[in-house]
Amino acid sequence: MAVDSSYPTSFILPDLLSHCNYPLIYHPDGDEIAKQSVKWLESNCPDLSAKGRHALHGLKAGELTAFCYNNTTPDRLRIAADFLTYLFHLDDISDGMMTRETDGLSDVVMNALWFNDRYMPTNAHGKEQPAEELNPGKLARDFWTRCIADAGPGAQERFKEAFERFFESVNIQARARDAGVVSDFESYIDLRRDNSGCKPCFALIEYTLDIDLPNCVVEHHIFQELNRWANDLVAWSNDIFSYQVEQACGDSLNMVAILIKYHGHTLQSAVDYVGDLCAQTIAGFQHDREQLPSWGSQIDEMVEKYVEGLQNWIVGSLHWSFQTQRYFGTNGAEVKRTRFVPLLPHEV
């Protein structure tokens, strides 16, 4: 079969790391905690396939946790690592699900968060749950029960609200997949801010730092902008890093793919455009952090720690993306050095 020579076979990554001058810090207990989290998920997912187990070990979600929550206690780091490992697991099992299936997954997981002390299956018409709790619910209950033992009430509510919005966005994504619809650019941005999974992860910053921010801070527009900047950086850079894998399996829910489809971009110009957006997010984050008002020394100290946690997510996620095998296989270090990404062949 002839190969279409006009179709790109590679692209060059934007130099995202040069725009991010924040220090990269790794938790001293990160490696050991990462191993424990992998073991936790494996032992609680007996039906995980050999391919799934291999991907789990190459994922290195615990290492991402060690970059992003680098100044917490080992116990709290472990709970954060379990959640991130679980979150990626949910992302994998929800890919390709039909709308009804993602609805069911959402109900099972949120049931565990709202009724953490016992399983309470719903009998509502069309949402009936089995008498035996499904595995995603059991994992959520295990993680959440340990977390709320010493998480502040505000942080708990923010986590549940953010996780619920994550599932709502996954359901929207499933409906679009069912209908064969590709989002326009603006709609995609709104959806991506929820399905990136960043918002519940940012709520865990409070937990890992043992703080509980007051509403006057959380509702302040500059504080919300800082969260948005960090979320956008993680989500949009991820769309660049994950593009080669997603294009191989025909997944069009990606900012790069949408720019190519709707805005006349080539692959390289689309990647460069998203890279420019990422650079703007870092600049916006730094500008707005300098505009934060004062709420008094005690609250200001908590806010400073939290914003540093967002900073750790920005720099940690960028570097981790070359460490995990999720995007570049075992070639992450080479891609980080050269920024050259050969495209994977399309899956049949």
Sequence-ordered list of residues with C-beta below 8 angstroms from that of 54, at least 6 positions apart, any chain: none
* DSSP, res 90: H
Within 196-266, residue ranges assigned H as helices are 198-209, 215-218, 221-248, 255-263
Place of tokens 């020394």: 297
The CA-atom distances, in angstroms, between 180 and each of 36, 175, 259 are 40, 8, 17
Rg (CA), the chain: 20
| CA triple 261-264-267, angle to 5 deg | 75
Q: Which pLDDT belongs to residue 348?
A: 53
How many angstroms separate the CA atoms of 20 and 15, rounded?
Answer: 10
Pick from 98, 103, 102: nearest CA to 126? 103
Sequence-ordered list of residues with C-beta below 8 angstroms from that of 212, at least 6 positions apart, any chain: 151, 152, 153, 154, 155, 206
How many angstroms separate the CA atoms of 184 and 73, rounded?
Answer: 43
How many angstroms separate the CA atoms of 34 and 57, rounded?
Answer: 10
In terms of Cβ atoms closer than 10 Å to its own Cβ (0-12, 13-18, 19+), residue 320 is buried
Residues in the chain: 348
How many angstroms separate the CA atoms of 26 and 69, rounded?
Answer: 8
How many Å is the maximal CA-CA distance in the chain? 69
Q: Which pLDDT belongs to residue 104?
A: 83
Q: Which pLDDT belongs to residue 98?
A: 57
How many angstroms separate the CA atoms of 231 and 285, rounded?
Answer: 10
From first to last of its 348 residues, the chain has per-residue pLDDT tens of: 334 446 789 999 999 999 999 999 999 999 999 999 999 999 999 889 999 999 999 999 999 999 999 999 999 999 999 999 999 999 887 766 555 677 888 889 999 999 988 888 888 777 788 888 889 999 999 999 999 999 999 999 999 999 999 999 988 887 887 777 777 899 999 999 999 999 999 999 999 999 999 999 999 999 999 999 999 999 999 999 999 999 988 777 899 999 999 999 999 999 999 999 999 999 999 999 999 999 999 999 999 999 999 999 999 999 999 999 999 999 999 999 999 999 988 765
Q: Which pLDDT belongs to residue 250?
A: 78
Q: Which pLDDT belongs to residue 97?
A: 58
How many angstroms separate the CA atoms of 253 and 267, rounded?
Answer: 15
Positive or negative, the CA dihedral 34, 235, 86, 141 is: positive
Phi and psi at 10, nearest 5°, equal -165, 170
Using an 8 Å Cβ cutoff, are 314 and 234 in contact? yes
Dig out the tokens for 235 from the structure.
């989500």
How many angstroms separate the CA atoms of 250 and 199, rounded?
Answer: 27
The CA-atom distances, in angstroms, between 8 and each of 11, 267, 273, 342 are 8, 7, 17, 9
Paired with 342 in beta bridges are 10
Within 115-184, residue ranges assigned H as helices are 135-147, 153-179
